[in-house]
Amino acid sequence: MKYNFRKPVTDNEGAALIIVLCFLVLAALITSSVVVTSQIGAKSLKVNIDRAYATYLAEGAIARLQWLIMADRRKSANPLRIFKANLEGEQSRYLADGKSRNIDYYNSEVNVEIYDMSSGFDISGSNPSKNLAPLQRVYHNDPDKKEEFKIFLDCLTDYVDRNDFVHLKGMEEDDYLNLNFPQRPRNSNLEYREEILFIPNAQSFFFPDKYGRLSIFNIIPPKGLSKYKSKNNFFSADKNLIMTKCQVNENEADDIIENRDRWLNSNKDFFYFFESGTIGKLKNAFSFKDSGYYTLIVNASPGKGMARRTMIVSLRITQAMQSLGNQYYQYVIY
């Protein structure tokens, strides 16, 4: 029997077309990825340039602000002028009142705030628990929280004291080891205020402010810088400090802060927002004078919609520049 085998017909045109289309798709994907990567790189570069420029603006504005404060201190011998509203046409004062101000720095408008460094409790000495003990008043309506705070105070005492004797509910090195805590008691004075968070349960009582600082405590002076002792400044005080110093409840403290904010955003006398009895409490508990130690907060941006940097410095400012220049207790940029 004879079989006739036909050679199959193969059509290579379809396969070639598919290959060409695949190459086109691949080329389009590579091209689009290159474009996207280029755009991301360009935007990232612009943001980094804006941030660098904003940093220079903030540093320059911080320097100018120091000179403005020095000039203000030389000009006015009446720090209690802070209670009065600025008269129309009167030159702006540069006081530690927490007001938001705008200053012009080489055609860039920079926002600045001036506070007193004496913002909270002093924990720099050998017995910080003694200075924090009045905070127990804040928890008088919460016995459990008050008891937890007493335990915290015992732990704080053991953390800084130089002996190995454990207070009633405190902790020494063996206790930290048993809890697998990486830090050990310093057995000496705290070196920086954030160190207090090493102590168990501290996070239940102390919270960072909007800039991430534990401003409820005064800055502990770095080695080589002078200590500062001053009555707490009212305009730098938070709610817990107001409750503790004025012996008022939470609602009353909230009202005080609300009225303080209303005054800061107005051009009226301070007395317009507070009753005489409240003002008496505030004057007894707080200082309304600049201590000479300042915290300056500057927010700078090259322009609208561009990157913004925040710089915070704390330093002593007198009526004139010192021979060593102004020395910083804290220098932070975000």
Give the tens place of pLDDT for each residue, 34-43.
777 777 776 7
φ, ψ (nearest 5 deg) of residue 287 = -100, 145
Amino acid residing at 199: I
3-state secondary structure of 14: helix
Dihedral (CA of 34, 40, 43, 45) sign? negative
- When computed from its CA atoms, the radius of gyration of the chain, rounded to whole angstroms, is 31
Phi/psi for 140 (5° steps) reads -65, -20
What is the percentage of the chain residues whose pLDDT exceeds 70?
90
Rounded average pLDDT over 298-310: 87
pLDDT at res. 9? 52
**What's the rounded Cα separation, in Å, for the pair 169 and 181?**
17
CB–CB of 193/217 below 8 Å?
yes
Number of Cβ within a 10 Å radius of residue 3: 4
Distance CA 229, CA 233 (A): 12
Phi, psi of 314 (to 5 degrees): -125, 130
Report whether pLDDT(258) > 90.
Answer: yes
Q: How confident is the model at residue 88 (pLDDT cuts 50, 70, 90)?
A: low
Cα(231)–Cα(238) distance, rounded to whole angstroms?
A: 14
| 292 token code pair | 């000479």
User: Among 311, 300, 318, which residue's Cα sits nearest to residue 73?
Assistant: 318
**pLDDT of 252:** 92
Tell me which long-range contacts 139-142 makes (C-beta under 8 A, separation of at least 24): none
Structure tokens at 106: 């080489």
Average pLDDT over residues 58-66: 92
Average pLDDT value for residue range 255-283: 88
Cα dihedral 310, 311, 312, 313 in deg (nearest 10): -170
Residue 108 in tokens: 């860039």
Q: How far is CA 130 from the centre of its chain?
A: 26
Beta strands in the chain (DSSP E): 100-105, 108-116, 293-300, 309-316, 328-333
Distance CA 177, CA 200 (A): 13
Give 188-214 pLDDT, tens digit per residue.
999 999 999 999 889 999 988 888 899
pLDDT: which is higher, 300 or 265: 300
- CA separation for the pair 138, 120 (Å, rounded): 15
DSSP state, residue 175 = H
Does 289 have pLDDT greater than 70? yes
Looking at residue 82, what is its pLDDT?
62
pLDDT at 241 (0 to 100): 92
pLDDT of residue 184: 79
- Can you give the pLDDT at residue 129? 93
Q: How far apart are CA 231 and CA 289, in angstroms?
A: 9
Q: How far is CA 205 from CA 10, 146, 185, 273, in A?
A: 81, 10, 20, 30
**3-state SS, residue 309:** strand
Q: Of 124, 118, 154, 119, whose CA–CA distance to 136 is shortest?
A: 154
- Average pLDDT of 75-79? 62
- 114: alpha, beta or left, given left = phi > 0 and alpha = psi -120 to 50? beta
